[in-house]
Amino acid sequence: MALVTFSSCSSKPDAPIPADASFVMHIDGASISEKLPWSEVKESQLFKDLLQEVDGNTEAEKILNDPKEFGLDLESDGWVFLSQKGKGAYSTFIWGLKDASKFEDVLKKANPNLSINKKESIQYIQEDEIVVAWSDENLMFLVDASELTRDLNKSANASTGGTENWDGDYEEPFSLDGEALANIALELQSLKSDEKLTDNDKFADLISTDGDVHFWFNAGKFYDNTMAGNLMGLSKMGTLVEGNISAITINFTDGGIDIDSKGYMGKELEELYQKYKASNFNETALKNLPAGEVNLALAINYPPEGLKSLLTLLGVDGLLNAYIQEGGFSIDEFINANSGNIFLALSDFKINQVEKYLQSLDGEPIPYTTEEPDGKLLFGAEVNDRSAFQKMIDVSKRYLEEKMNMPATGTENIPYELKEKWFVAGNNSDQVNQFGSTKTEHAFIDRIKGHPIGLFVNIQSFIKVAATQISENKKLDKDIAALSSSFWKEIVMTGGELEDGAMVTKLRISLGDANTNSLKSLSKYIGQLSKLAKEDEIRREQEWSEMEEMQLYTDSTSIDPSY
């Protein structure tokens, strides 16, 4: 499923990744090693548990304590990629080698009878559809991933593992065997510069962006030569994946994890977005939220006219217009009704104990209690033309009642209100009525305003509420909740701007410890979770042992009825 290549660190590594790779992950080994040295990894509880698992295996212990003993170079660049090959696909893991002879020695010590093959500049071992290959610089691990392309070509014969071709003939499932993967490993080592993905300017821009981990996903390449891609290509829906590339950078900083992304698109979509650029969302909507704890808030601005042009570009405007005109409405009226600002907010999140009933075989209700999440959910849309918006509401109600068979009482029980500038609906009448009655300067607003998209999630508030519902006898669950509540804090995301042909977003996951690098914090957190799980396992074993001893004592002191 993945490929990781470690080579010498530079701003534009010369990585053996083919230009048609659909998915790539890059790891900056030098940066990761600086932020979390192996010496600190060895101090974690998870590492100590792993050492116990290999207790007695001298070679394994030596490698874990110092990966250099395996010939590995932890400070090299790493790459993970997925690529198609004919009818199939493969994933590759590549790790930089500091000493190939050490790596080979370890393999031979582990299995003296191991058969090592040689093909030009690489050596390799193979088993079924897996190949481990290495050169003087790189360790490569290749796996057949043709099942992925089969999933994208599923048909009536999918349950048998085969597929139907366009003529309806059944084909046996295709896969890349060990020999084919070995040839691919050799091809990767011999790629010319213009055959590599690093020659792509967008990819080069991604890798040169400061960060610890980079992700690349090319939707067009992913669906290329698949039934799903061919079907989209028959219509304008293919415009959605043509040139659609996600470029994501993750950076572990003090107190948080920063995730920056760029979403590239094809020429036609880019021209549309350039013509209909989104404005900053209307922050008044968030200030109109009633006072109290806001657990989640999402605000978006979109150009309504651009939505119509998008539907036209995809070739579905006529079909959609004909459908909604049956209800007495039109796309133009929708555009006239809306200004393009919408929001969603959740406040006062809680978990309620709810009594429900099951019907027994004799028809009698059996009561039981369950937990259900609850909170004040509010959706809003800024109104451009009040009369057009009222018509849209009436059409929607009629559709729910006539087409979806919802009783009139059902639509009447949905709290909503069409105010002067806003339409608001939710699950709490008081929340709907109070919207806009007063202005509240919620603290999170300043952190997400000034962008077409803004998102705030108070992670800590969700964990704290969930923790209150954990029973006292579930010690592990309570300990994990307490640890997680202090570890996670919140999520803030902003973006939606078009920059250099890409839609950009910035997301930050803030942690409770603002002064420690988040990678170190994550390592410590995972270690603590491992320790809690280990302690719980020991506690359960002790309880079971005590129960067995009690049972043995009871059996030994019981009186034989024959006496």
CB 36 within 8 A of CB 523: yes
pLDDT score at 498 = 94
pLDDT at position 4 over 80: no
CB 447 within 8 A of CB 506: no
CB 203 within 8 A of CB 216: yes
The residues, ordered by sequence, that sit 6+ positions from 461 with a Cβ below 8 Å of its Cβ are 293, 295, 349
CA distance 85 to 116: 25
Arithmetic mean of pLDDT, 247-262: 98
pLDDT at position 165 over 80: no
Arithmetic mean of pLDDT, 30-47: 92
Of 86-95, 127-136, 551-560, the one with minimum mean pLDDT is: 551-560
pLDDT at position 388 over 80: yes
pLDDT score at 561 = 55
Q: Is 282 exposed, middle or buried (0-12, 13-18, 19+ CB in 10 A)?
A: buried
pLDDT at position 94 over 80: yes
3-state secondary structure (DSSP) of residue 441: coil
pLDDT at position 61 over 90: no
Mean pLDDT, all residues of the chain: 88
Arithmetic mean of pLDDT, 311-336: 91
CA distance 563 to 550: 24
Who has greater pLDDT, 343 or 61?
A: 343
Arithmetic mean of pLDDT, 325-329: 88
pLDDT at position 125 over 90: yes
pLDDT score at 403 = 80
State the pLDDT confidence band at 559, using cuts at 50, 70 and 90: low
3-state secondary structure (DSSP) of residue 205: helix
CA distance 2 to 90: 9
The residues, ordered by sequence, that sit 6+ positions from 434 with a Cβ below 8 Å of its Cβ are 290
Of 127-131, 231-235, 548-552, the one with minimum mean pLDDT is: 231-235
3-state secondary structure (DSSP) of residue 249: strand
Of 158-162, 262-266, 449-453, the one with minimum mean pLDDT is: 158-162
What confidence tens digit (pLDDT) does each residue in 332-366 have?
A: 999 999 999 999 999 999 998 888 888 888 888 88
Arithmetic mean of pLDDT, 110-132: 90
- In angstroms, the Cα distances linking 133 to 179, 182, 532 are 11, 7, 39
Who has greater pLDDT, 303 or 555?
A: 303
pLDDT at position 280 over 80: yes
What confidence tens digit (pLDDT) does each residue in 204-245 have?
A: 999 999 999 999 999 988 887 666 666 666 667 778 888 899
pLDDT score at 171 = 62
CA distance 477 to 207: 40
Arithmetic mean of pLDDT, 521-547: 89
Arithmetic mean of pLDDT, 479-502: 96
Q: What is the pTM of this model?
A: 0.87
**Hey, how many other C-beta atoms are within 10 angstroms of the C-beta on 274?**
10
pLDDT score at 471 = 86
What confidence tens digit (pLDDT) does each residue in 168-197 have?
A: 555 667 889 999 999 999 999 999 999 999
Who has greater pLDDT, 557 or 26?
A: 26
State the pLDDT confidence band at 67, using cuts at 50, 70 and 90: confident
CA distance 195 to 217: 18
pLDDT score at 271 = 94
Percent of the chain at pLDDT > 70 equals 90
CA distance 297 to 287: 11
CA distance 280 to 300: 8
Arithmetic mean of pLDDT, 454-459: 98
pLDDT at position 38 over 80: yes
pLDDT score at 252 = 98
State the pLDDT confidence band at 377, using cuts at 50, 70 and 90: very high
Task: Please tell me which of 10-19, 54-63, 93-102, 155-164 the model is most confident about, judged by mean pLDDT.
Answer: 93-102
pLDDT score at 55 = 78
